[in-house]
Amino acid sequence: MARKPKSSSRTFYQVFDLAPGEDEETLKARYRELTRKYHPDRKNGAHARFCEITEAGATLLDTDRRKAYDAKLRFTRKPCPKCDGDGRRFIQITFTQRVSRRCEACNGVGYEADLA
C-alpha cells in the first residue's frame, strides 16, 4: 500500500499555479498538463508531486468539493486587499478596453501570503 505524502502548506490553486477565479476548462487543461509532466512512469522521484496534483485535481474539478474548499479558504485566510480575493486585477487601457492581469500583490492566489 502506497504511503500518502504529507500535505504541503500550499493551497490547491498554488499547486496548479492558477488564480481561484479560473474556469473549469482552464483547471482541466492545467490538471492534464501537470499529471502528464509529473507522472511517476515518466519522471522518477515525482510520486509526491503527482499525489499532490491528483489531490488538488480531485477537489478543484468536483464542483461541490470546490465550493466547500473555497468557502474554507475564505474563512481561514484574509482575501488580498488589491484584488478582493479574485487573483486578477483589471487594468484600464482605454475608455472602453480593460485587460485582466494576475495580481502582483498575491501572485494570483487571491489571498494574503501568510504562509511562512
For the chain, the domains span 12-77
State the Cα–Cα distance between residues 66 and 114, nearest whole angstrom: 21
pLDDT at position 111, please?
66
As given in the structure block, the three cell numbers for residue 83 are 484584488
Model confidence over 70-97: pLDDT tens digits?
A: 888 776 667 777 776 667 766 777 878 7
Percent of the chain with pLDDT over 70: 72
Sign of the torsion angle spanned by Cα atoms 36, 61, 29, 80: negative
2 has pLDDT over 50:
no
pLDDT at position 93, please?
75
50 has pLDDT over 60:
yes
Q: Domain 12-77 is in which class?
A: mainly alpha
Which range of 19-23, 72-76, 109-113 scores highest in mean pLDDT? It is 19-23
